[in-house]
Structure 1
């Protein structure tokens, strides 16, 4: 055999062996990249949902303000007209209590709205708390899954390298034995 002929198969075999380990490394890298992407998506979905809820809440709030604004204006206008027309009548009938009863009705409406807003705020805080707990659970699960996957892939890569190492040792041992056998045969012939 010529020297060049021996080198080509050796290079091809080495490239094939490198491909096995590199293939395993690339497969592991792709699996881990997908796992990281999926985990990021899971966490991001919570934030997107929270942002969407907040956007909807703000839109509803703006709609309520638009709806209530004209009615408050009309209410105030009618109240002022009624008030100016009925002040003399109220003073005669109820004395000094008339302005306070009208204010009490308006105050009751405002208090009811404030209670409603407080309840909405408490519900929003509770939902945010639930989202945070869900986010933490998903992050912890993602960390456990990542660690498990890293360990598994590391073992797979180590096995691929160990298999390549063993194949190289076996091949080199076989070549060594063949070389020794050829040397011994040559010595026997020369004697």
Structure 2
């Protein structure tokens, strides 16, 4: 009887190993600045003084399938608009499109869209943060250190905007 229980345990362990889910695999093949713009409006308008800035950040994510199997382009689009708190005069404007090429495997088709719009931007964000910091510093301002971004919430907001803009079938 001990042998039967032992063999049942081995069979159960083998079945469990066969049924183990395959984990998603993501590899960053390349990343690059697709487009970048820095406008130093304060210098152009000869604004003087140490005005307290108010910075508005807009973020969008785009993703598309590439020709190669399991490869995707993901682009994080950022717009950072700095204005004075007192009178709303523009100080500087940064626009950055930062892209990555990803190899993604073992992700269910239903989960691929959120994966591309959440996990891939998370991988790119530290590089975006460094570029924005260097760009603002090199433009003559204190380095702008971006806070961590909640790409889950950004994704939800994008879905909500898309749902609002979708024409209704009953209209």
TM-score > 0.5 by shorter chain: no
The structure with more radius of gyration:
1
The structure in which a higher percent of residues are helix is 1
Which of structures 1 and 2 has the larger relative contact order (alpha carbons within 8 angstroms, sep 6+)?
A: 1
More strand by share: 2
Q: TM-score range by the shorter chain?
A: under 0.3
TM-score, normalisation: structure 2: 0.26
TM (normalized to structure 1)? 0.24
